[in-house]
């Protein structure tokens, strides 16, 4: 059964689907000895596919959740030699995995990692509206007007309007600190979106933690700890992915 070349590369763990598309467009991929630079080109299971003259090796898909600590880079490598999320998996996972989306350097919490590039694409593309829940400690105590703005959408620095978020105020942090604690669920995936939304309503973020992503939560993991996803969790993610096709 034929399939799109970038999808096959992603499923083989070569890179995410978007990164696989870049490899194709820049001439790094050959099929049966011929360089392919057209996105959407179809390949057969019997075709020989090479990336930079190295035949791809199909891997079984694997899925993990990490409680990313603050001060860790969501990347495979870092030019400043800072700790990355993949450092936690060194010598423990043989497959070539990568993070699903990103968390800022100073943001902690739920981060999925996989070698399933198609799933990565479906879960991270903004148009797919996958839920992401955050716990935010903010400056000041947001009033009902600020909460309503978050629920209906606010103007962001790029002049776009954020999609409506689900928001509830959990508590004030310290009687004399004038700090609020909010739980927000958003359905887009733009860079720094939660921080930008809260900045826009006058309550800058002091600390941010992602508590759930696509229905996966931390389940008691301490910062820096990780675990394979359970079969039920993988099945739920694949059902979300298939629904977004």
Instruction: Give me the CATH number covering residue 155.
Output: 3.30.70.1560
Q: Does residue 147 carry a pLDDT above 80?
A: yes
Give pLDDT, residue 226.
Answer: 98
User: What are the pLDDT digits (tens) for 161-181?
Assistant: 999 999 999 976 555 668 899
pLDDT given for residue 173 in this prediction: 58
* Longest Cα separation, the chain: 69
Asked whether residue 205 carries a pLDDT value surpassing 70, the answer given is yes
- CATH number, domain containing residue 223: 3.30.70.580
181 and 221 inside one domain? no
Domain hosting residue 200, numbered range = 131-213
Same domain, 81 and 187: no
pLDDT of residue 121: 83
With 0.85 as the threshold, say if the pTM is over it: no
Number of domains in the chain: 3
More confident residue, 10 or 107: 107
Identify the active-site residue in 47, 104, 106, 158: 104
Q: Which pLDDT band holds residue 244 (cuts at 50, 70, 90)?
A: low
For residue 25, the domain's CATH number is: 3.10.290.10
Write the CA distances from 137 to 33, 46, 150, 234, integer angstroms. 55, 53, 15, 31
pLDDT by residue (tens digit) across 93-106?
988 888 999 999 99
109 and 230 co-located in one domain: yes
Identity of the highest mean pLDDT range in 75-89, 119-133, 150-164, 206-220: 206-220
pLDDT bin (cut points 50, 70, 90) of residue 199 is: very high
The yes-or-no answer on residue 52 being catalytic is no
Given pLDDT bands bounded at 50, 70 and 90, which one contains residue 80? confident
For residues 189 and 135, state if they share a domain: yes
Q: Which residue shows structure tokens 């977004």?
A: 244
Question: Could you tell me if 88 and 158 lie in one domain?
Answer: no
Q: How far is Cα 37 from Cα 118, in angstroms, rounded to an integer? A: 19
209 lies in the same domain as 135: yes
46 & 92 share domain: no
| Pair 222, 116 in one domain | yes
pLDDT at position 154 over 60: yes
Of residues 154, 131, 158, 147, the one with CA closest to residue 200: 154
pLDDT interval class at 71 (50, 70, 90): very high
Co-location of 26 and 73 in the same domain: no
Same domain, 69 and 179: no
Percent of the chain with pLDDT over 70: 96
Pairing of strands 49-51, 166-172: unpaired
Q: What is the mean pLDDT of residues 41-56?
A: 90
- Mean pLDDT computed over 195-208: 96
Token pair of 240 as six digits:
């979300």
Residues 6+ apart with CB under 8 A from 150: 162, 165, 167, 184, 197, 198, 201
Q: How confident is the model at residue 58 (pLDDT cuts 50, 70, 90)?
A: confident
Q: What is the pLDDT of residue 99?
A: 93
137 with 207, same domain?
A: yes
* 196 and 146 share one domain: yes
Q: Residues 36-40: what's their mean pLDDT?
A: 93
């Amino acid at each position: 059964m034929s399939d799109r070349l970038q999808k096959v590369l992603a499923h083989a763990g070569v890179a995410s689907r978007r990164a696989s598309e870049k490899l194709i467009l820049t001439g790094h991929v050959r099929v049966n000895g011929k360089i392919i630079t057209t996105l959407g080109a179809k390949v057969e299971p019997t075709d020989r596919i090479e990336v930079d003259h190295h035949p791809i090796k199909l891997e079984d898909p694997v899925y993990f959740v990490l409680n990313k600590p603050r001060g860790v880079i969501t990347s495979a490598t870092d030019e400043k030699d800072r700790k990355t999320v993949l450092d936690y998996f060194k010598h423990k996972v043989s497959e070539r995995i990568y993070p699903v989306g990103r968390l800022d350097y100073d943001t902690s919490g739920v981060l999925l990692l996989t070698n399933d590039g198609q799933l990565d694409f479906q879960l991270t593309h903004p148009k797919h509206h996958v839920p992401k829940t955050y716990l935010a400690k903010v400056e000041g105590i947001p009033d009902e007007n600020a909460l309503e703005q978050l629920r209906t959408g606010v103007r962001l620095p790029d002049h776009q309007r954020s999609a409506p978020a689900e928001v509830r105020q959990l508590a004030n942090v310290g009687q004399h600190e004038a700090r609020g604690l909010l739980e927000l669920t958003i359905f887009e995936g733009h860079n720094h979106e939660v921080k930008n939304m809260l900045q826009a309503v006058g309550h800058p973020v002091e600390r941010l933690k992602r508590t759930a992503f696509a229905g996966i939560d931390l389940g008691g993991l301490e910062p820096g700890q990780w675990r394979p996803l359970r079969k039920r969790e993988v099945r739920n993610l694949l059902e979300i992915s298939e629904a977004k096709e």
